[in-house]
């Protein structure tokens, strides 16, 4: 080789950059394939970024990089064994995103990301190039057995633990939900008062009542407050998801008692006129005790038919002659509006009927 050629090669070597493992370099994209990007980094060998070193996400590199793009990358190996420089883009991006997450952790910043995987113990999301794990216990403020509904869903969370050296970066969605509910609860309690009529949504049904979501807190609508009449089972009145207007009966600490017994619909308001003593009424046997039967005259108005007033003959127990649901006719013999008590008598009605028949018989002319 001539001296000139040797001199030229020396000048060429001197004009090229010197690189080391871990160094950040900048280059121009000269070739893109589905699984590989080639960069001119001003070194004697080109830099290669494989698909696995570009991103943690399964992507086609031709959709995110094009020839002529300028990129920064980190040197993994100066010589990969084939005379090429192995570069990583994702680890550089990960370092930047770690700094971003660290800042969010320190500032308690709310982050937003799409759930990339549903795991057995929680959810995985990726912030830029950093994976964040959200344990199942921190996904919601209520227990959720199946987390599959979150797959592909964009969620908000905060970083509750940041330890990149141990690859432990924990996200927390629960505290955001708890804080939001607390805020809504405070706003609700500031504006509601006993006696207000508000609209809510049936959230849950039990044998003893319904829990109504009032938009910030749940109120209990007890079965005894669902109607002026008798309700056998809340599930026969409501379905989960129903909307209803309810009366706020009581507020005690963070508990709200609700009612559907609106005073203007109270059947006892005009009961004195409808059920005065001497009036003959029809009703349905609602329930029985040893001392008598309770007769429902209308929803919310029950009257007592004492065992001694069921018949002119002696009756040991009401159940010997009456059945629940049976319709009867009786006479009102006592009315106490202030106590909401009405007493009935079938015996008095029978006596009236006999007296009427005797009166008719007495007025008939005897046959000659």
- Same domain for 279 and 254, yes or no, is no
Give per-residue pLDDT as tens, 21-70.
Answer: 888 999 999 999 999 999 999 888 899 999 999 987 788 999 999 999 99
Asked if 37 and 65 touch (Cβ cutoff 8 Å), the reply is yes
214 shares a domain with 168: no
Position 179 scores a pLDDT of 94
Q: Which two tokens stand for residue 107?
A: 């500032």
Give the tokens for residue 282: 């029809």
In-domain check, residue 111? yes
Question: Does 113 have pLDDT greater than 50?
Answer: yes
Query: Higher confidence at residue 161 or residue 18?
Result: 161
Give SS3 for 13: helix
Contact in structure between 293 and 236 (CB atoms under 8 Å): no
Q: What is the mean pLDDT of the chain?
A: 88
Please choose, from the candidates 297, 296, 300, 308, the residue with its C-alpha nearest in 3D space to the C-alpha of residue 346: 308
Tell me what pLDDT residue 44 has: 84
143-147: Cβ within 8 A, 24+ apart: 147/118, 147/122, 147/123
For the chain, the domain total comes to 4
Tell whether 184 is covered by a domain.
Answer: no
Count Cα atoms within 13 angstroms, Cβ side, for 102. 10
Does the pLDDT at position 15 exceed 50?
A: no
**For 65-108, how does the pLDDT look when each residue is reduced to its tens digit (9 = 90+)?**
999 999 999 999 887 667 789 999 988 888 888 889 999 999 99
**Residue 129 forms part of a structural domain:** yes
Fill in the DSSP letter of residue 28: E
- Checking DSSP bridges between strand 218-222 and strand 255-259, what pairing results, if any? parallel
In the DSSP assignment, the letter for residue 367 is P
> Which single residue is written with the structure tokens 């227990």?
143
Do 56 and 113 fall within a single domain?
A: no
What are the tokens at 333?
């013999």
Whether 73 and 101 share a structural domain: no
Paired with 285 in beta bridges are: 295
For 144, which DSSP code?
A: -
pLDDT digits (tens, 9 = 90+) for 346-356: 998 887 666 65
Is residue 4 situated within a structural domain?
Answer: no
d(CA 3, CA 225): 106
What is the pLDDT at residue 92? 87
Q: Which of 38, 70, 88 corresponds to the end of one domain?
A: 88
* Same domain, residue pair 347 and 288: yes
242 lies in the same domain as 278: no
pLDDT band at 12 (very low <50, low <70, confident <90, very high): very low
The domain boundary, picked from 264, 285, 304, lies at 264
Claim to verify: residue 279 and residue 334 sit in the same structural domain: yes
Say if residue 275 is in the same domain as residue 222. no
Do 254 and 319 belong together in one domain?
A: no
Is the pLDDT confidence value at 322 over 90? yes
pLDDT at 149 over 90: yes
Q: Is residue 259 part of a domain?
A: yes
Residue 105 placed within a domain: yes
Residue 283 lies in a domain: yes
Are 61 and 121 in a shared domain?
A: no
CATH number at residue 330: 2.40.50.140
CA dist 205 and 189 (Å) reads 23
- What are the residues whose beta carbons fall under 8 Å from the beta carbon of 249, sequence distance 6 or more? 194, 225, 257, 258, 259
Question: Is there a domain that residue 361 lies in?
Answer: no
Could you tell me the pTM of the whole model? Answer: 0.61
Q: State whether 64 and 138 are in the same domain.
A: no
Q: Which of 88, 104, 121 delimits the end of a domain?
A: 88
Which structural domain, as residue segments, surrounds residue 123? 95-177
Percent pLDDT > 70 in the chain is: 90
To which residue do tokens 């509601």 refer? 192
Let me know whether 281 and 348 are in one domain: yes
């Amino acid at each position: 080789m001539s001296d000139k050629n040797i001199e030229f090669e020396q000048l060429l070597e001197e004009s090229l950059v010197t690189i080391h493992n871990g160094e950040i370099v900048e280059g121009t994209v000269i070739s893109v394939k589905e699984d590989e990007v080639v960069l001119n980094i001003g070194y004697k060998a080109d830099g290669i970024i494989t698909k696995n070193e570009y991103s943690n996400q399964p992507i086609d590199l031709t959709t995110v990089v094009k020839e002529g793009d300028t990129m920064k990358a980190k040197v993994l190996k100066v010589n990969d064994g084939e005379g090429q420089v192995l570069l990583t883009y994702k680890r550089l991006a990960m370092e930047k995103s770690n700094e971003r997450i660290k800042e969010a952790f320190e500032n308690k910043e709310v982050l937003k990301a799409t759930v990339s995987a549903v795991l057995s113990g929680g959810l995985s999301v990726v912030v830029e190039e950093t994976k964040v794990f959200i344990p199942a216990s921190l996904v919601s403020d209520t227990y959720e057995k199946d987390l599959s509904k979150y797959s592909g869903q964009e969620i908000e969370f905060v970083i509750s633990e940041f330890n990149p050296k141990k690859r432990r970066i924990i996200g927390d969605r629960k505290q955001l939900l708890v804080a939001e509910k607390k805020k809504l609860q405070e706003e609700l309690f500031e504006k509601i008062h006993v006696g207000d009529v508000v609209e809510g949504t049936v959230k849950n049904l039990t044998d003893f009542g319904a829990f109504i979501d009032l938009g910030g807190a749940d109120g209990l609508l007890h079965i005894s407050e669902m109607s002026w009449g008798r309700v056998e089972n809340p599930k026969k009145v409501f379905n989960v998801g129903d909307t209803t207007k309810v009366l706020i009966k009581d507020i005690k600490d963070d508990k709200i008692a609700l009612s559907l017994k609106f005073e203007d619909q109270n059947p006892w308001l005009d009961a004195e006129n409808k059920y005065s003593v001497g009036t003959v009424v029809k009703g349905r046997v609602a329930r029985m005790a040893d001392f008598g039967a309770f007769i429902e005259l209308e929803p919310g108005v029950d009257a007592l038919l004492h065992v001694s007033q069921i018949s002119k003959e002696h009756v040991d127990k009401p159940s010997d002659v009456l059945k629940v649901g049976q319709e009867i006719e009786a006479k009102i013999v006592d009315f106490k509006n202030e106590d909401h008590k009405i007493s009935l008598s079938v015996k008095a009605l029978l006596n009236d009927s006999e007296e009427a028949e005797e009166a008719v018989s007495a007025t008939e002319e005897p046959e000659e």
